Amino acid sequence: MSRNGSYTASELLAVMSCRLLKDGQTVFAGVGIPLLAATLAQRLHAPGLTILFEGGVLGPFVVAGELPPSTNEQRCTRRANMLLTITDVLLLLQRGYVDVGFMGGAQIDCHGNLNSSFIGDPAKPKIRLPGTGGGNDIASLAQMIVAMKHEKRRFVEKVDFITSPGFLDGDTSRRDSGLVAGGMYRVVTDLAVLGFDDKSKRMKVLALHPGVVGRSVQDNTGFDLGIGSDVPATEPPSERELRALRELDPDRLYIA
């Protein structure tokens, strides 16, 4: 969606993701849309939401107009409750103190497994991606929200490599593998909000964004979503949400 006086695809992602976050939660947020959505939630409806950065920052205050380009940047530490080592941050995950992990991904499959390592043959990949960072730890131990552009090349039946686990092969396979906590909660795209079947753990469409039809979502997905005819529509971003979002990012660092 191009910006035509309403909102961009990035703004749509940020607003829809923001709405999923709740007051009182601790959110492990990456840069980009995850950081923007978490900060927006704090401003609008979740003042008690705590942001956690992989670089070791717990509870920072992100200044409007001064969004950090990296979670290791000094602006991430403003008014923080605590500065930790990366090891201690990951220990918070292991101890169950983190409610939500929030990240993007280059490739996702029907069971919510994420790939941010490489595309193609592992011996000779077509594309090398940034890798895991703390992504594997976060996805293994927390409820996950993923925000990404909805494209067929990104939504595949099986990822080329599981960098961050979703529900693995579906059904009980995640728990059977020893990952007894967390799991994929929602996938937010520029076309829809997606969740996972309670039993099969296969991705399904929960809601379509304004003006989007089910066929468009299916055509941009590399596996069958089984979209029904009664899928509801999301509420479009409100003026209040867009105004607060644009105040946070006036230079359009993340919402271009």
Neighbours of 8 (CB within 10 A): 17
CA dihedral 177, 143, 30, 124 (to 10 degrees): 30
State the pTM of this model. Answer: 0.93
What pLDDT shows up at residue 205? 98
**Per the CATH hierarchy, to which homologous superfamily does domain 9-248 belong?**
Glutaconate Coenzyme A-transferase (3.40.1080.10)
pLDDT of 1 above 50: no
Contacts of 1 (CB under 8 A, 6+ apart): 7, 8, 9, 12, 190
Catalytic residue numbers? 54
pLDDT tens-digit map of 13-24: 999 999 999 999
pLDDT per residue as tens digits for the range 177-192: 999 999 999 999 999 9
Q: Domain residues of the chain, as ranges?
A: 9-248
How many whole angstroms separate alpha carbon 102 and alpha carbon 52? 10
